[in-house]
Amino acid sequence: MATEQSSTPAAYEKLLEQYERATYLGDANGVLSWDQEVMMPEGGTPARSKQRGAVSAAAHELLVDDDVGAWLATLVEAELSAGKRAAVREIRRQYERKVRVPTDLVEEISEATSDAHPVWQEARGNDDFDAFAPTLERLLELKREYAAHIDPDADPYAVLFAEYEPYLDLDTAERILESLREGLVPLIDAVRDAERDLYSVEGTFPESEQSALAREALETLGYDFERGRLDTAPHPFSSGTQFDARVTTRFDESEPLDSLGSTIHEFGHAVYTQGLPREAYGSPLGEHRGLTVHESQSRLFENHVGRSEPFWAFFTPRFNDRYGTDLTPRQAYEAVNQVYEDNCIRVEADELTYHLHIVIRFEIERELLVGDLDVSEVPAAWNDRMESYLGVRPETDSEGCLQDIHWSHGAFGYFPTYSLGSVLAAQLYAAAERELDGLDSKISAGEFDPLHEWLDDAVRQHGCRYTTDELIERATGEPFTADYFLAYAESKFGELYGL
């Protein structure tokens, strides 16, 4: 009987080899991007833009080569294992999108986003949206052109959304966002009307101590520093591969819980990346399953673990030892779960109002892309919607429409995955609770391995083997639903605020 290796069509071997080379270039570009945001000298942008543009173009050329199309055609009727069929499916999906986009446009977009980063950073620092507006307009034009090449008859936002979430369509995203708005707005109103104030942590907490506690939290939760590192960045993020998954955070000496929450959020991303199959690196089977699933991993650890009462039963003594405070676990639990009335910043938002921040960005991006909103109108539109949806009006553009890094990356269509990921996190955590006896007790004892092992089995080991909806149903036994998140939010905040 022939072995799988010997029976594998030559076309598959050649296709995978070509895809792996493109992957390696893309990962190298990721390191260049990380360096630009974390360590690169301020004057390095002109060269870095050219470097990243050239690498992006080279990776694109590999994936749209005529041979790739020929190999894919050969494999349509080939007998392949389930894993190899999945790899071909993923490569085919990428090829069919990328082959329609000219390489010079890919290179131009890469250079433009690299150029945009310092422009955004300076504009935010100076509270000067007008300084960023021409860059934003250029990126929108490039992304409209990109979407039109892929599908000139489709909603450009839907085309760009599929870059980040290829298997849950835009209708699903809109349905989930609408469910969240309908369920959360009355809950937020009830919380704000409640006659109960939660405990607040006040004082000055040195950055050096916050950094040490962030590192301790990463080590405690299970981050592998031999395959990662912790740094600071203006906008926290994680990036990398299963061999090198890096975390960044930021610090405010008056808000120690924010940096800790940000670090735990990025830990969720990084531990998912570190948990992808190492033997499949370079193949789709060694890649993450889109940003909805990726975000579910970060939100699961940030909210269902890091904002849970069992976690603070375990971690409060470490917090007190670090800062010389005398918090009780209940006080810490309340402090990390306050619902704010006056917060303009998405990354500092509570679990409930966070999703209204996403709705605002979703609406504005869609209007910008189809031309219903002019770039010059963004600050006013942003502020009006913040006031309407959240009851707060930003005093500056830096705490309004300039706060997020995503537009400087050209990442239009990204934001809905944050809410989709939060919803999926609740569904996954509920499944883990059903299957792991005494999960709360394990977390309060600092035992995180059972949860990691469950997530390894349910999510991380599969890479892109399954589509998003298939992975969700395999992991939880049910189709994707917002029911678990809404039930979790009502139960948790109902108890906290005595509703």
Residue type, 143: K
Roughly what angle, to the nearest 10 degrees, separates helices 170-193 and 156-164? Answer: 80
d(Cα 206, Cα 491) in Å, to the nearest integer?
35
User: Would residue 219 show up in a list of annotated catalytic residues for this protein?
Assistant: no
Q: CB-based contacts of 266: which residues, under 8 Å, 6+ apart?
A: 236, 237, 238, 247, 248, 249, 298
Q: What is the CA 337 to chain-centroid distance, rounded?
A: 21
The pair of structure tokens assigned to 469 is 């909806």
**3-state class (DSSP) for residue 373:** coil
Q: Residue 179: how many CA atoms within 13 Å on its side-chain side?
A: 20
Catalytic residue among 90, 266, 334, 348: 266
Written as one string, the DSSP assignment of 108-126 is HHHHHHHHHHHHHHHHHHH
d(Cα 85, Cα 95) in Å, to the nearest integer?
15
Question: What's phi and psi for 403, nearest 5 deg?
Answer: -70, -30
d(Cα 321, Cα 213) in Å, to the nearest integer?
10
Contact 413, 164 (CB under 8 A): yes
Q: How many CB atoms lie within 10 A of CB 12?
A: 21
Write out the catalytic residue numbers. Answer: 266
